[in-house]
Amino acid sequence: MASLRPGSPTLWQATCSIPLRPPMDEHVEADVCVIGAGIAGMTTAYLLAVQGQNVVVVDDGPIGGGMTSFTTAHLTDALDDRYYELERLHGAEGARLAADSHRAAIACIEDIVRGEGIDCDFARLPGYLFVPVGDSTKDLDREGDAVHRAGLSDVKRLEATPGGARLGPCLAFPDQGQFHPLRYLDGLAKAIERSGGRIHCGTHATSIVKGDRVTVQTEQGPTIAAKSVVVATNVPINDMYAMHTKQAPYMTYVIALAMPRGAVEPALWWDTRQSISEGASGDAPYHYVRTQQGKEEDFLIVGGEDHKSGQADDADRRFADLEAWTRQRWPQARDVRYRWSGQVMEPVDSLAFIGRNPGDEDIYIVTGDSGNGMTHGTIAGMLLTDLVSGRDNPWAKLYDPSRKTLSSIKEFAKENLNVAAQYVRDYAGPADIADTASLDRGEGAVIRRGLARHAVYRDDAGELHEFSAVCTHLACVVHWNPAERTFDCPCHGSRFDCAGKVINGPANSDLAPVTADAAADK
């Protein structure tokens, strides 16, 4: 098998290159400014543009360069958190609206693909929520009853998962979907521009100022004055506290294995494991699987092995566990061709936050993908288009970022206690390494310099890079992520590349550089 270094491209990045749009170089005015060119921002921009709104999209990276590049792109109404849990947290009507909104999101994507002629491998196909062989079917039966109460009456219970793999009893969800996410965004970008919208890459939004019009200030200097602003940056960059206590960041791992053409009937698969029932790490061994057709062979895309962001550094073990799990069930799988990890934001009550930013009238946010980022992002486009346009939407209350779900108080307390404990561990505990001499090329770590914590990285040429390890959001200490060569915040999910540049919020500025004196070994 070919060697796969950390930070290698995802399957999507390796098979699609979206042309960069030029950075903003002058002040512009618009009806709506969308910050973030991922699935949520681009869907919102498209739906607003085709109804005649003057839209400008800005992103500090390429289109789809954030977490949309790291998804496995399941389009499903079989949600990661069980429907019986949604009933507990949001009531029977809330669970029904959740099912309705995700089903509508798949239909919306299909309509856009057909209407705009986007070549993105969109397909309808079945999905199977299965019980691993030997596990109890109690939760599966409970979930079967709940999905029917939620209106998914076409979901069927099967005693064995179709397709030949030994997976166990399942619930069969018809008319699910999948696509190539970057090819889809490429098509959306072209459609936005045909409708008069503007897209600017390499344009970092530093602040949002409220007034008669909302003004977005960019790092490069130009500003955007808009009636409304949509913050679609995966994690909001315009709010320091409110939203970040209501969700938690988790890393998830993915491998893509080559398969003989036609060896596996296309489908989606998800297992029912959500608890820490196996593995020495104390993490959930949940798995999710799909297929993807390549030019000469197919791929089996397998994900799972999640853990809290910044709170584990055993990526190689997790990739190996994914591969072993896959080969036990699909022995015809060939080499692992791609592997990557991505970040999932888990809301304490299992549903995304989409709507007006708490306390604001003309600033809207979307966050909390809960492992269903492609459908949650599309729901955001549909819902925010209605809100910006002054129309009622039946999902608005369910996804309201200001909502308080009393039934989730236990989850809220658990996640925030974890954050508090992380501050104590990071500032009182030992550093990763004692000195930089032990740091190999391509490796990063956190080192103590007197009372300070510094992030250090030795590049492939042997040069050492050093900067503050204090996250620029709320001063948690970042941790090295060997899978992606990033420094990740274990508290609220901010991520920085190996040169300290911010690549994921809520932080919106880079790790601080250090002076030569401060960087000297002590």
pLDDT at 13: 96
Boundary-marking domain end, from 347, 364, 383: 347
For range 387-412, the mean pLDDT: 82
The verdict on residue 8 lying in a domain is no
The verdict on residue 78 lying in a domain is no
pLDDT at 307: 82
State how many domains the chain has.
3
Considering the domain architecture, whether residues 256 and 170 belong to the same structural domain is answered as: yes
pLDDT, tens only, 128-148: 999 987 788 999 999 999 999
In total, the chain counts a number of residues equal to 522
DSSP state string for 122-134: -EEEEEEEEPPTT
The verdict on residue 329 lying in a domain is yes
SS3 annotation, 264-324 = CCCCEEEECCCCCCCCCCCCCCCEEEEEEECCCCEEEEEEEEEEECCCCCCHHHHHHHHHH
pLDDT at 99: 98
For range 204-221, the mean pLDDT: 92
Q: Which residue has the higher pLDDT, 412 or 239?
A: 239
Domain span including residue 38: 16-71+182-244+350-406
Q: Which of 39-48, 82-91, 380-389, 466-475 has the lowest mean pLDDT?
A: 466-475
The 10 Å CB-count burial string (b at 16+, else e) for 365-392 is bbbbbbbbbbbbbbbbbbbbbbbbbeee
pLDDT at 282: 40
Considering the domain architecture, whether residues 233 and 273 belong to the same structural domain is answered as: no
Q: Which residue has the higher pLDDT, 194 or 249?
A: 194
Amino acid at 350: S
Give the helix/strand (H/E) hosting 356: strand 353-356
Over 70: is that where the pLDDT of 414 sits?
no
The verdict on residue 194 lying in a domain is yes
Considering the domain architecture, whether residues 443 and 337 belong to the same structural domain is answered as: no
Considering the domain architecture, whether residues 294 and 270 belong to the same structural domain is answered as: yes
Q: What is the mean pLDDT of the chain?
A: 87
Considering the domain architecture, whether residues 146 and 260 belong to the same structural domain is answered as: yes
Over 50: is that where the pLDDT of 204 sits?
yes
For range 13-18, the mean pLDDT: 96
Q: Which of 190, 292, 231, 198 is nearest to 66 (CA)?
A: 231
pLDDT at 3: 36
Considering the domain architecture, whether residues 461 and 325 belong to the same structural domain is answered as: no
Contact 40, 182 (CB under 8 A): no
pLDDT band at residue 447, thresholds of 50, 70 and 90?
confident
Q: DSSP state, 513?
A: B
For range 474-496, the mean pLDDT: 83
Predicted model pTM: 0.88
- Domain CATH for 332: 3.30.9.10
For range 5-11, the mean pLDDT: 73
pLDDT at 275: 41
Give dist(CA 404, CA 307) in Å, integer: 26
Over 70: is that where the pLDDT of 179 sits?
yes
Boundary-marking domain end, from 327, 347, 367: 347
- Domain CATH for 484: 2.102.10.10
Over 60: is that where the pLDDT of 493 sits?
yes
Are β-strands 443-449 and 479-481 bridged in parallel, bridged antiparallel, or unpaired? unpaired
The verdict on residue 500 lying in a domain is yes
Considering the domain architecture, whether residues 131 and 280 belong to the same structural domain is answered as: yes
The verdict on residue 418 lying in a domain is no
The verdict on residue 2 lying in a domain is no
For range 375-386, the mean pLDDT: 97
Considering the domain architecture, whether residues 234 and 305 belong to the same structural domain is answered as: no
The verdict on residue 80 lying in a domain is no
pLDDT at 485: 85
pLDDT band at residue 520, thresholds of 50, 70 and 90?
low
Over 50: is that where the pLDDT of 278 sits?
no
- Domain CATH for 221: 3.50.50.60
Percent of the chain with pLDDT over 70: 89
Considering the domain architecture, whether residues 466 and 402 belong to the same structural domain is answered as: no
Considering the domain architecture, whether residues 280 and 360 belong to the same structural domain is answered as: no
pLDDT, tens only, 238-274: 665 567 677 888 889 999 999 999 889 999 999 987 6
Boundary-marking domain end, from 347, 372, 397: 347
Considering the domain architecture, whether residues 130 and 203 belong to the same structural domain is answered as: no
Over 50: is that where the pLDDT of 378 sits?
yes
Over 70: is that where the pLDDT of 443 sits?
yes
Q: Is 189 left (phi over 0), alpha (psi -120 to 50) or beta?
A: alpha
pLDDT, tens only, 307-346: 877 777 788 899 999 999 999 999 999 999 999 988 888 8
pLDDT at 279: 36
pLDDT at 517: 53
Are β-strands 247-259 and 443-449 bridged in parallel, bridged antiparallel, or unpaired? unpaired
Considering the domain architecture, whether residues 143 and 240 belong to the same structural domain is answered as: no
